[in-house]
Chain A
Amino acid sequence: MTRKKTIEKKAQTVPSDEPTNNETVASEPSSSTPNEPEATEQVSELVNGVTNLSMTDKERGEMDRQTKSKEQIKAEREAKKAEKANKKANATSKVVASPAPQIQQHAPQIPNGQTLLSTTQVSKLENKKDVTQKPPSPEPKSAIKKDTARGNREVQFDLNTTVLRTPSEETISDLPKMFVFTDLAPNFNVHPVFHTLAARCERGQVADVDDLCEEFLSAFVKFISDWGAERLHNSDADPTALGFDLDLAIRPQLGYLTEDGRWPLPYALGNLVRQLKREIKRLDEPCKHAHTKEDGTVAAELPGGCDKLKELEEWLEETRYSCFELATNSISTHLMQKRKFSKKIVTFDWCRVVNRILLDSLVGEDPDLKHIVVLDQQLNGRGVRHMDTLLDKNVKLDYGDLRSLSVALHKCSIVLIGCSAVLSNGCVAVPKGSLSIALSAQANNIPFMVCAQTFKFVDKVQTYGRMALLGRENMELVPSSLITAIVTDIRIVPPSSAPAILKAKALESQN
């Protein structure tokens, strides 16, 4: 059932007037009214004056002047002044009256401790909004707006308009009024796990996009179990609209993480969120195979759609397992084919998949891998983590910064680097500094290989200067022409096969 249909259906069952909410919606336009009379007044004066350039109006004005006597004109002006004074008085009284209902608007939600709203509540609101909605007041189109409160003119640039919005980037502006955060109750309906996640990211405790995705998935599991528990107590909740309700409930969470869609989610995380949403939408579809007991009777579904939520939790756990553990395993086995060939490996920055591959290729009596060089953008950077894990292994280990690149690449068999995303044109988002390694590797005829799990393939070609959660991530793009191969969990593929991988894994944006 589509969202509109559900709302309409619910709207019929709910009584349409509720005093507090009606007041709220009615008082909405009040904040903009004080400016209106003045603005229209100015405009009308201009029209009557000389500035109007349209020929027909001008002619009409001249005609009027000729026909009206001086006394008539005087009387008219006086009448206008009186009107003006009246309007001003009205406006000020409205300004005084308006703050109280605004507070009322959010007051009912906080004391209940009810952070998440069910469909019925939302539909009530939307219904009321439709009934009392007024046509939007005409606003000046210029970016320069007159701010009457401050009395000065300032330029307001809408920063959000430049950000391209895709389905994975969350905005909450299209949500019913109740969901939108204000100064009064900032993020009141965001689950604490997401606050923790955002705080950890801000403090730099999340190293890279792999860690972020994993933490997001586990945070989401917690969120779902809490949400499900809360929903059980809510008798209004419609069991057939589970997915719809959950979809509404996760929007503020994602909106909080992306600062209301200002920054896009990191590529790989955006992918996961999109898949997750697809899965949530599926919750409302009727079950293909009903749970039947041994005696043939259909098993009763658990209340509140608990079994469906459990399925979703299982899906999350499965995704986490396949994206991180299984994928890393198979990447490592694919590179094992090249084990005989790789005697000296150069790597750059930290990547846990690369680390795992290095550890795996050192297993055994006499491993082919004899020499590992770890490079870092600056000494004592993240690459030190590789050194920590590899120190006690029987292998020659070198560490240096980018200045030692030429020495590192001498007699090197392959350069192996982790990445945060593979774009659909074959470009790869890698840690800063990798581009110079890629260029020197090409100049020295050394294969430049990138490890990427398939969930890191994104159907995008543009880069972002800044992203949600990871901020200005330490990242740059390496063009596909410099990449010899991408090692994925499916197999080793050329960068030009990125669209094929997207298709095989159903990660394209239209899905």
Chain B
Amino acid sequence: MFADKDAIGSEFKKILGSDVEISTGLASIKTLYNILNRSTATTAKELSEELRAAAEALEETDYSSTSIRSACELFTRFISLAPADLLDDKDFTTVLNFYRSRGDLFIERIAKSRTLISDCCRPFFKNNSNILTHSYSKVVLKTLLDAREAGIWFHVYVTESQPDSSGRKMLLALREKGIHSTLVLDAAVGYVMERMDMCFLGAEGVMETGGIINKIGTLNLAVCAKYMNKPVYVMAESIKFVKEYPLNQADIPADFKYSSTAIKSKDLQAEHPQVDYTPPQFITLIFTDLGIMTPAAVGEELIKLYT
């Protein structure tokens, strides 16, 4: 009855490949939406089982499982917020149609979120400032490009972000649009920090603590910034809010830390984690499509969403 796991995985990759701009979270939501559209479920329970199985299949791909999990959970939660009397309807297709319309609404809202974040961020830019960023993040890139288009001059320092050198990708994207930028070594973060005005970070997931899980090396940057009193701004869509409460680095769930292929095949003791957890005390503000938040507000927002 349920769709094949591989089929779901390939559909997800197809959606990701079709649009360079699309985020992992949005792509997984679109995959779920397609499954919802195709669904022939006759009860709410059946439908939720179907969606859950699909979400599990998506998490088994090698993309960031933090983003996928949060997006899938929020999507399922959002579409199922239906009035009680509708759920009593004997014909489940009316309920399904309602869910589909909610899904449409959700995707429409999520697609706008980057623009909203970019708008939120604009007043924080100053002319001739130095900005440090880590790794490659689509939200940060969009915000920087929008600010440049608005006529603000700034210099961006990008860390190389090993092991996959995603910083180079960021550097090329920035230079292409004519933004002054410099590539720095991951180990040089402490050295360059004193000349920075602010740090911009993306996030794979925003935790209930208000801390973030992001590409390895983020914590180093945040600690240095805190020590030198530089503001650290995080940009994350609200679909990245995760119901998870890591207490420290050791407490990050293994499926967040390692790719699913590494978990299956290798000895994790020898494996390098791909992400680290930056606690909320190192973060100044979080820019989301819901507005600008302090890290403490994230927990409250999640309680509102899931109670």
Residues of A within 8 A of B (CB): 338, 341, 414, 445, 447, 449, 484-485, 490-494, 496-497, 499-501, 504
- A497 with B300, Cβ < 8 A, contacts A490-B307, A491-B243 known: yes
Cβ of B202 within 8 Å of any chain A Cβ, yes or no, is no
Cβ of B57 within 8 Å of any chain A Cβ, yes or no, is no
Are A500 and B304 neighbours in the complex by a CB distance under 8 Å? yes
Binary contact readout B279-307 vs A (1 if CB under 8 angstroms, 0 otherwise): 01000000000000000100110011011
Binary contact readout B232-258 vs A (1 if CB under 8 angstroms, 0 otherwise): 000000000001010110110000000
Are A497 and B303 neighbours in the complex by a CB distance under 8 Å? yes
Query: CA A430 – CA B248 in complex, angstroms?
Result: 23
Query: CA A496 – CA B209 in complex, angstroms?
Result: 9
Are B300 and A491 neighbours in the complex by a CB distance under 8 Å? no
Residues of A close to B167: CB separation below 8 A: none
Q: List 19 A-B contacts (CB under 8 A).
A: A341-B250, A414-B247, A447-B247, A485-B245, A490-B307, A491-B303, A491-B306, A492-B208, A493-B208, A493-B245, A494-B209, A494-B296, A496-B296, A497-B299, A497-B303, A500-B300, A500-B303, A504-B303, A504-B304
In the complex, the chain A residue whose C-beta lies closest to that of B210 is: A494
Residues of A close to B300: CB separation below 8 A: 496-497, 499-500
Binary contact readout B206-242 vs A (1 if CB under 8 angstroms, 0 otherwise): 0011100000000000000000000000000000000
Question: Chain B's nearest CB lies how many Å from the CB of A459?
Answer: 15
Are A338 and B251 neighbours in the complex by a CB distance under 8 Å? yes
Are B208 and A341 neighbours in the complex by a CB distance under 8 Å? no
Question: Chain A's nearest CB lies how many Å from the CB of B83?
Answer: 19
Are A494 and B247 neighbours in the complex by a CB distance under 8 Å? no
Query: CA A494 – CA B208 in complex, angstroms?
Result: 7
Residues of B within 8 A of A (CB): 208-210, 243, 245, 247-248, 250-251, 280, 296, 299-300, 303-304, 306-307
In the complex, the chain B residue whose C-beta lies closest to that of A500 is: B300
Q: A341-B251, A500-B304 are in contact. List 9 more A-B contacts (CB 8 A).
A: A447-B247, A447-B248, A449-B247, A491-B243, A491-B245, A494-B208, A497-B296, A500-B299, A504-B307
Query: CA A198 – CA B250 in complex, angstroms?
Result: 47
In the complex, the chain A residue whose C-beta lies closest to that of B299 is: A497
Residues of A contacting B: mostly: mixed
Query: CA A493 – CA B248 in complex, angstroms?
Result: 14
Residues of B close to A497: CB separation below 8 A: 296, 299-300, 303
Are B248 and A494 neighbours in the complex by a CB distance under 8 Å? no
Are B247 and A341 neighbours in the complex by a CB distance under 8 Å? yes
In the complex, the chain A residue whose C-beta lies closest to that of B300 is: A500
Query: CA A447 – CA B211 in complex, angstroms?
Result: 15
In the complex, the chain B residue whose C-beta lies closest to that of A426 is: B296
Query: CA A492 – CA B306 in complex, angstroms?
Result: 13
Are B303 and A492 neighbours in the complex by a CB distance under 8 Å? no
Are B248 and A445 neighbours in the complex by a CB distance under 8 Å? yes
Residues of A close to B208: CB separation below 8 A: 491-494
Residues of B close to A484: CB separation below 8 A: 247
Question: Chain B's nearest CB lies how many Å from the CB of A396?
Answer: 20
Residues of B close to A341: CB separation below 8 A: 247, 250-251
Query: CA A485 – CA B250 in complex, angstroms?
Result: 16
Question: Chain B's nearest CB lies how many Å from the CB of A10?
Answer: 41
Query: CA A102 – CA B209 in complex, angstroms?
Result: 63
Are A496 and B248 neighbours in the complex by a CB distance under 8 Å? no
Are A338 and B299 neighbours in the complex by a CB distance under 8 Å? no
Residues of B close to A496: CB separation below 8 A: 210, 296, 299-300
Residues of B close to A494: CB separation below 8 A: 208-210, 245, 280, 296, 299
Question: Chain A's nearest CB lies how many Å from the CB of B237?
Answer: 21
Choose one: A485, A491, A501; the contact of B247 (CB below 8 Å). A485
Question: Chain A's nearest CB lies how many Å from the CB of B256?
Answer: 13
Query: CA A344 – CA B208 in complex, angstroms?
Result: 24
Residues of B close to A492: CB separation below 8 A: 208, 245
Query: CA A175 – CA B287 in complex, angstroms?
Result: 54
Query: CA A445 – CA B247 in complex, angstroms?
Result: 10
Are B303 and A490 neighbours in the complex by a CB distance under 8 Å? yes
Residues of B close to A504: CB separation below 8 A: 303-304, 307
Query: CA A490 – CA B303 in complex, angstroms?
Result: 9
In the complex, the chain A residue whose C-beta lies closest to that of B296 is: A496
Query: CA A445 – CA B250 in complex, angstroms?
Result: 12
